[in-house]
Structure 1
Amino acid sequence: MQADTADDDSVRAMASTVVAELGGVDVLVNSAARPASLIPQRGLDELTDDDVRIELETKLLGYLRCARALAPSMVANGWGRIVNVSGLNARQSVSIPGSVRNIAVAAMSAALADELGPKGVNVSVVHPGMTVTRGTEELIASRAEAQGIDEATMRARAESGTRIGRLATAAEVADVIVFLCSPRSVAIAGDAIAAGGGARGVTHY
Structure 2
Amino acid sequence: MAVITGGTRGIGLATARLLAAEGADVVLVSRNADEAVRVADDVARTTGRRVLGLAANTTDDAAVGAMADAVERDMGGAHILVNCAAEPAGQKAVPAPSEAQWASLASHMDTKVMGYLRCARALLPGMRRAGWGRIINVSGLGARRTGDVVGTIRNVAVVALAKNLADELAGTGIAVTTVHPGLTRTEKVDAMLEARAKAEGHSTAEVEASMTQNLLMGRLPTAEDVAQVIAFLASPLSVTVNGVAIDVGGGVRGSINY
Q: TM-score, normalised by structure 1?
A: 0.90
The answer (yes or no) to whether the contact 1:40–1:51 under 8 Å persists in 2 is no
The one-letter code of the counterpart of 1:7 is D
How far residue 47 of structure 1 moved from its aligned partner, in angstroms, is 1.8
Percent identical pairs in the alignment equals: 44
Q: Structure 1 CA distance, aligned partners of 2:94 and 2:208?
A: 21
* Alignment deviations for residues 83-125 of structure 1 (CA, whole Å, 9 cap, x no partner): 0000111101121111111100011000000011311100000
How far residue 176 of structure 1 moved from its aligned partner, in angstroms, is 0.3
How far residue 190 of structure 1 moved from its aligned partner, in angstroms, is 0.7
Q: Structure 2 CA distance, aligned partners of 1:200 and 1:143?
A: 24
User: Which of 221, 237, 246 is residue 168 of structure 1 equivalent to?
Assistant: 221
The one-letter code of the counterpart of 1:181 is A
Matched, 1:27 2:80: yes
User: Which of 244, 248, 252 is residue 191 of structure 1 equivalent to?
Assistant: 244
User: Which of 174, 183, 199 is residue 130 of structure 1 equivalent to?
Assistant: 183
Q: TM-score, normalised by structure 2?
A: 0.72
CA shift in 2, pair 1:20/1:58, >3 Å: same
- Which shows bigger deviation, 20-29 or 65-74? 20-29
Matched, 1:89 2:123: no
Matched, 1:54 2:131: no
Q: Structure 2 CA distance, aligned partners of 1:86 and 1:61?
A: 13
User: Which of 76, 79, 89 is residue 36 of structure 1 equivalent to?
Assistant: 89
User: Which of 69, 91, 111 is residue 164 of structure 2 equivalent to?
Assistant: 111
**Unpaired stretches in structure 2, ≥5 consecutive residues:** 1-28, 31-55
* Alignment deviations for residues 14-62 of structure 1 (CA, whole Å, 9 cap, x no partner): 1012112111211000001222212551124432101211110110011
The answer (yes or no) to whether the contact 1:89–1:98 under 8 Å persists in 2 is yes
Matched, 1:69 2:69: no
**Unpaired stretches in structure 1, ≥5 consecutive residues:** none
How far residue 162 of structure 1 moved from its aligned partner, in angstroms, is 1.0
For the aligned residues, what is the CA RMSD? 2.2
| Matched residue count | 203
SS in 1 for 2:168: helix
**Higher RCO (CA 8 Å, separation ≥ 6 residues):** 1
The one-letter code of the counterpart of 1:157 is S
Q: Structure 2 CA distance, aligned partners of 1:144 and 1:89?
A: 25
User: Which of 223, 231, 236 is residue 178 of structure 1 equivalent to?
Assistant: 231
